[in-house]
Amino acid sequence: MTPMPSGWIHVIAGCMFSGKTDELLRLLRRAEIAGRRVILVRPTIDDRTSPEVVESRSGVAFRARAVASSADIPALVSRERSSVVAIDEAQFFDQGIVEIAELLAAEGRMVILSGLDQDFLGRPFGPLPQLLALADEVTKLTAICTVCGAEATRTQRLVGGRPAGRDDPLIVVGGLDDEKYEARCRAHHVIGSSRRG
């Protein structure tokens, strides 16, 4: 009996504007050059671009499949017979994405997930903390603070030009060229005051 090839989980995390999607797409292009069968999955909630493509802010694009739930991923991967499975915006998936990533890696596949590790309040975001803990490899990216130019590790959400508060919705999908979000360093990340009286 031949041993199964060893799977691997690689998580690319960071704040918005840190280049997570560019790095994910770079790794997928390399996998294709190496002759690997690649599939890129994205959550349907991310409607910034067409469901058939993932596009980075720098304009790099890659064909993709949009799914509503992590439970949809294994059948899709199986049908495509993919050895490399990439999952963009992993923070938007349900907690089941953790088990799915583990399952795919146990089958000998390379699993690459990218996503925000913190929400706009600076708290761990969705399933990313658990994925980071279980990953075989982690790439943590930073951006540039829009206030001072230092390394940015936080995502600042703006509402009407002011910092969002704790009572604002947790998930607001930002477009590729909008002013809803900025990258901020720890010193300039601000949580706004409550808007409810």
Query: Residue 80: inside a domain, yes or no?
Result: yes
Residues 6+ away with beta carbon under 8 Å from 87: 40, 41, 42, 73, 93, 97, 101, 111, 112, 113, 114
Of the candidates 128, 192, 129, 117, which has an alpha carbon nearest to the alpha carbon of residue 155?
A: 117
Query: Residue 45: inside a domain, yes or no?
Result: yes
Check whether 22 has a pLDDT greater than 70.
yes
List pLDDT tens digits, range 56-79: 888 888 999 999 999 999 999 999
For residue 197, count other CB atoms closer than 10 A to its CB. 3
Amino acid at 152: A
Check whether 3 has a pLDDT greater than 80.
no
Domain limits at 106?
A: 8-142
Is 89 among the residues known to form the active site? yes
Q: Point out the catalytic residue in the list 32, 55, 80, 89.
A: 89
Q: How many domains does the chain have?
A: 1
Question: What average pLDDT score do residues 121-145 get?
Answer: 97
Model pTM score? 0.89
List pLDDT tens digits, range 157-183: 988 888 988 887 767 665 444 458 899
Q: Both tokens of residue 11?
A: 């998580």
CATH number at residue 103: 3.40.50.300
Query: Residue 62: inside a domain, yes or no?
Result: yes
Question: What average pLDDT score do residues 148-156 get?
Answer: 97
For residue 189, count other CB atoms closer than 10 A to its CB. 22
